[in-house]
Amino acid sequence: MGRTAFLYSDDFLSYDLGGAHPLQQRRLQMVYRLLGAYGVLAPEGPIEWKTPVPATQEEILRVHTPDFVAMVMRAGTGYRGPDLKRYGLSDGDTPAFNSMYEAAALYAGGTVEAARLLLTGNYDYAFNVAGGLHHAHPDHASGFCTFNDLAMGALTLRDGGLQRVVYIDIDAHHGDGVQACFYDDPETMTISLHESGQFLFPGTGFAEEVGNGAAAGTSLNIPYYPYTLDDVWHNAFDAVIPDALARFKPDAVIFQFGADAHWEDPLAHLLITSEGWMRMVDKLFRLTQGLPAIVTGGGGYNIKTVARLWTMVAARCAEIELPDQVPASYAAQYDIHYLHDRETPQVEESVQRDARAYVENQLETLKALI
């Protein structure tokens, strides 16, 4: 059985970008409570609930520039001057808020702690449900993300001797911040499957972006056309990623399981079903079996979908089969009745043809460069 730690605290809800903001962190509490309702958290169940500690300033400064970190601190204590803009902290996406530094340090600390738990050798999977903030760049916040917990997690794994880390991101958006952190680093591979930057934020993540110099071939991107369905999503992955993983021979893995590729997500346009999405999670776990794995969340703006998918991820880490029907008291409170979808998205054949052609074209470019 997979030994699994699940990092959660109600304090994660302090990363609060506002009541009308698409990022609603009560989704994290919904995951925690659904796992509790199923009785799979210790002491009743096999998943060990751990509370995170904030990342230290030293840990944050390993990834981020001193002036950016100082500006997040000032923003968190009420500063609202015009130079916030330079650090990505003044737009509607990632607005400054009080205690922003502490809130961002806490979610980032969850991923650092997940790495430390894996390094003890006592866990196969450590799931920081608040992690996965993949748009944060070394010198600026972006796309709802302040600190890049994923890069901090990778460096912590490396401290413990897990030198070759592969980062795999299935969020609907390109994992641009993590890619930027490791674009010149041949020992860290970043893989991102996402809706093409031609159609969606952040506008990057094309097949041509394969890494610099000695790191060429260790940044892999598969951009998809809007309205892509399960089979096209999987087939493009199968065409390049398993071979790339086998060649890279990682010592550890970091997953970013943003839930916004799901068809009910309001911010993106991929049409992945819960079945197709979990089939990908399962495939990734089988491909990386035996490697210590940090699991994180990420995007996900239909909070009921997030609660369903990430609960299933935690159960899959511990190799537990959950009944599809959600426990009654939870279902009544949150109006979530089944883990899996009850409906399937439909797309015209001509659009499906376009989706296939688009990704095949990107794959040709990618295969020629790696």
* List of residues contacting Zn ion (CB under 5 A): 171-173, 258, 260, 299
Query: Minimum CB separation from Zn ion for residue 314, in Å?
Result: 20
Alpha helices in the chain (DSSP H): 26-37, 57-61, 66-76, 100-119, 149-159, 176-182, 230-248, 274-287, 303-317, 328-334, 349-369
Query: Minimum CB separation from Zn ion for residue 299, in Å?
Result: 3
Query: Minimum CB separation from Zn ion for residue 69, in Å?
Result: 24
Output 113 or 195, the one with its CB closest to Zn ion: 195
Output 136 or 172, the one with its CB closest to Zn ion: 172
Q: What are phi and psi of 136, to 5 degrees?
A: -65, 130
- Residue 144: closest CA among 91, 220, 66, 222: 91
Q: What are phi and psi of 221, to 5 degrees?
A: -125, 130
User: Which residues neighbour 203 within 8 Å (Cβ) at sequence distance 6 or greater?
Assistant: 197
Q: How many Cβ atoms are within 10 Å of 83's Cβ, its own excluded?
A: 12
Identify any residues that bridge with 338 across adjacent strands, giving them in sequence order.
Answer: 325
Long-range interactions of 237-241: CB distance < 8 A, separation 24+: 237/193, 237/280, 237/283, 239/363, 239/367, 240/363, 240/366, 240/367, 240/370, 241/168, 241/191, 241/287
Q: Which two tokens stand for residue 257?
A: 């399981």
Position closest to Zn ion via CB: 299
Query: Minimum CB separation from Zn ion for residue 185, in Å?
Result: 23
- Residue 40: closest CA among 91, 15, 6, 14: 6
Identify any residues that bridge with 4 across adjacent strands, giving them in sequence order.
Answer: 47, 125
Output 156 or 228, the one with its CB closest to Zn ion: 228
Query: Minimum CB separation from Zn ion for residue 72, in Å?
Result: 21
Output 166 or 193, the one with its CB closest to Zn ion: 193
Query: What is the maximal distance between C-alpha atoms in the chain?
Result: 55
Q: What are phi and psi of 74, to 5 degrees?
A: -65, -40
Query: Minimum CB separation from Zn ion for residue 324, in Å?
Result: 26
Give the C-alpha separation, 198 to 131, whole Å.
26
By three-state DSSP, how is residue 214 classified?
helix
Q: How many Cβ atoms are within 10 Å of 202's Cβ, its own excluded?
A: 17
Q: Which is catalytic among the residues 135, 173, 174, 269?
A: 135
135 is catalytic: yes
Query: Minimum CB separation from Zn ion for residue 272, in Å?
Result: 12
Dihedral of alpha carbons 26, 277, 245, 286, sign:
positive
Q: Which two tokens stand for residue 116?
A: 């430390």
**Which residues have a catalytic role annotated?**
135
